[in-house]
Amino acid sequence: MSDSPTIAGMDLQRLNRIADHMESNYLAPGKLPCAVTLVARHGQVVWQRAQGLMDVERAHPAALDTLFRIYSMTKPVTSIALMQLYEQGRFLLDDPVHKYIPSWRNLQVYKSGVYPQFVTTPAARAMTIRDLLTHQAGLSYGFSCRTNVDAAYRQLKLDGHSGLTLESLIDELSRLPLEFSPGSAWNYSLATDVCGYLVQLLSGKPLDDYFATHVFRPLGMEDTFFTVPASKLSRFAACYQYQPGDAFELQDDPQASHFSRRHGYLSGGGGLVSSIGDYYRFAQALANGGELDGARIIGRKTLEFMRLNHLPGNTDLPSVSTGGFSETPYEGSGFGLGFAVKTDIAKSQAIGSPGEYGWGGMAGTTFFIDPVEDLIVIFMTQLIPSSSYPVRQELRALVNAALVD
């Protein structure tokens, strides 16, 4: 029997292994610039630690209030925002997207050719809003680098550039073919950016205003935004790119970053900056069934519905995915309305519980919520791509090993 101190049924000595693991395997060898980790259970933060440098060039140490580009961890926020509007009867999940975006009425599916000479065929059915929330819409990402369709996304710079707006994104996508007929496969994509556009359209508010009013302020999230305020720039981390040989180089200097100045593209798929403490407040609200400290952002039944596996026939990602990259291992995972959902723990080859849900970001950030254990884990770093090292799966082993009751 261990005599190690415990909090909320977790062994603190075992949780300290996380810090040792990060230091010896990633920070000391120069594989990651920093590692900021938070573990919470039963509604309280049990263990958190900031390690390494948030800005290597300036030798600034990472701290618990460091600001990170969370990239695709924006997606769950956007999905919650859209489902808030669903709760108000503004749309139905099986509504065709063209009901709200008329230019998308006759979307075509790719058959052959390269941009701009595509040969296409009509979609078997109309794209629905649920298709967008579950990445079954037939859209893609330019960085996928697999098909002639995503090559067109790259050529048109649809993954975000200084001149892009949500309106121009929607306009460009109306003229490009889909990878497949909606609902027939799963492909990680710009679909959540389209969800962000729908939030603006249905609410009549810019996405940043909507998030601030209906998610961030109610939850007391003061460090989450599309643009880092000048007064908080000193806390904004540098971002790095993986280099062969387990090294990294500067990818985005915080002082010169486009995240440090207002720009026209409010990306619901990847545009937010946040701190680990702020994102914890969002995750804890979800773990509580939609509310935190008396502020409810989503209904309990709505969230239960979002956490279901919405893939056809309750299947998992390998059987419906087109095979591109996403922010979760495919094996043993399904997909809900905005999150990956664990469906088969043994198949996933990582400790967890059925129904565990969460997502990650391109620069290595990640979070997951285990509703069986009432457990939240959040990890922040800034290294692109997130697939550089298996930190996420290692974290599951380290954290679950600390559960004692």
Are 323 and 247 members of one domain? yes
pLDDT attached to residue 1: 45
pLDDT, tens digit, 9 for 90 and up, residues 327-346: 988 999 999 999 999 999 99
Are 126 and 226 members of one domain? no
Please say which residue of 203, 225, 240 terminates a domain: 203
Domain membership of residue 116 (yes or no) is yes
Q: Cα–Cα distance between 174 and 124 in angstroms, integer?
A: 17
Q: Cα–Cα distance between 103 and 122 in angstroms, integer?
A: 15
Are 181 and 71 members of one domain? no
Mean local confidence (pLDDT), 264-274 = 95
Are 331 and 182 members of one domain? no
CATH of the domain at 270: 3.40.710.10
In this structure, is the dihedral angle defined by the CA atoms of residues 212, 215, 220 and 222, taken in order, positive or negative? negative
How far is it between the farthest Cα atoms of the chain? Answer: 69
Are 129 and 214 members of one domain? no
Domain membership of residue 1 (yes or no) is no
Report DSSP state, residue 139.
-
Are 102 and 187 members of one domain? yes
pLDDT attached to residue 117: 96
Label residue 85 exposed, middle or buried (CB < 10 Å: 0-12, 13-18, 19+): middle
Q: What residues contact 93, with CB distance under 8 A and at least 6 apart?
A: 86, 128, 129, 130, 133
Mean local confidence (pLDDT), 204-231 = 98
Label residue 65 exposed, middle or buried (CB < 10 Å: 0-12, 13-18, 19+): middle
Domain count, the chain: 2
In this structure, is the dihedral angle defined by the CA atoms of residues 85, 89, 90 and 95, taken in order, positive or negative? positive
pLDDT attached to residue 325: 85
Domain membership of residue 324 (yes or no) is yes
Domain membership of residue 351 (yes or no) is yes
Are 187 and 283 members of one domain? no
pLDDT attached to residue 2: 55
pTM attached to this predicted model: 0.98
Dig out the tokens for 396 from the structure.
Answer: 């599951």
Dig out the tokens for 176 from the structure.
Answer: 């490009």
Whether the predicted pLDDT of 3 surpasses 80: no
Peptide bond into 329 cis (omega under 30): no
Cβ–Cβ under 8 Å, residues 351 and 400: yes
Are 319 and 389 members of one domain? yes
pLDDT, tens digit, 9 for 90 and up, residues 23-62: 999 999 999 999 999 999 999 999 999 999 999 999 999 9
Are 192 and 257 members of one domain? no
pLDDT cut 90: percent of the chain above it: 95
Report DSSP state, residue 128.
B
Question: Torsions phi, psi of 162, nearest 5?
Answer: -60, -30
- Strands of 263-401, DSSP E: 273-274, 291-292, 295-296, 333-335, 340-342, 357-360, 366-370, 375-380, 383-384
Domain membership of residue 156 (yes or no) is yes
Range of the domain at 27: 6-82+205-400
Whether the predicted pLDDT of 284 surpasses 80: yes
- Bridge partners of 61, per DSSP, are 53
Q: Cα–Cα distance between 274 and 291 in angstroms, integer?
A: 19
pLDDT, tens digit, 9 for 90 and up, residues 88-126: 999 999 999 999 999 999 999 999 999 999 999 999 999
Give the 3-state secondary structure of residue 110: strand
pLDDT attached to residue 162: 66
Q: Cα–Cα distance between 70 and 271 in angstroms, integer?
A: 8
DSSP H or E stretch at residue 318: helix 317-320
Cβ–Cβ under 8 Å, residues 390 and 383: no
Q: Cα–Cα distance between 157 and 161 in angstroms, integer?
A: 6
Please say which residue of 203, 222, 240 terminates a domain: 203
Domain membership of residue 22 (yes or no) is yes
Are 347 and 231 members of one domain? yes
Mean local confidence (pLDDT), 131-154 = 95
Q: Cα–Cα distance between 167 and 302 in angstroms, integer?
A: 28
Say which amino acid occupies 347. Answer: K
Whether the predicted pLDDT of 145 surpasses 90: no
Question: Torsions phi, psi of 7, nearest 5?
Answer: -135, 130
pLDDT attached to residue 310: 98
Q: Tally the residues of the chain.
A: 405
Q: Per-residue confidence at 376, pLDDT binned at 50, 70, 90?
A: very high
Q: Cα–Cα distance between 7 and 31 in angstroms, integer?
A: 31
Tokens 């952002």 appear where?
A: 297
How many CB atoms are closer than 10 A to CB 5?
Answer: 9
Please say which residue of 203, 234, 263 terminates a domain: 203
Are 174 and 199 members of one domain? yes
Domain membership of residue 405 (yes or no) is no
Whether the predicted pLDDT of 174 surpasses 60: yes
Q: Per-residue confidence at 4, pLDDT binned at 50, 70, 90?
A: confident
Closest CA to 255 of 239, 274, 272: 239
Say which amino acid occupies 341. Answer: V
pLDDT attached to residue 264: 85
Mean local confidence (pLDDT), 295-310 = 98
Domain membership of residue 386 (yes or no) is yes
Are 262 and 298 members of one domain? yes
Helix ranges (H only) for 69-147 are 74-87, 129-133
What's the mean pLDDT when you consider all of the chain?
A: 96
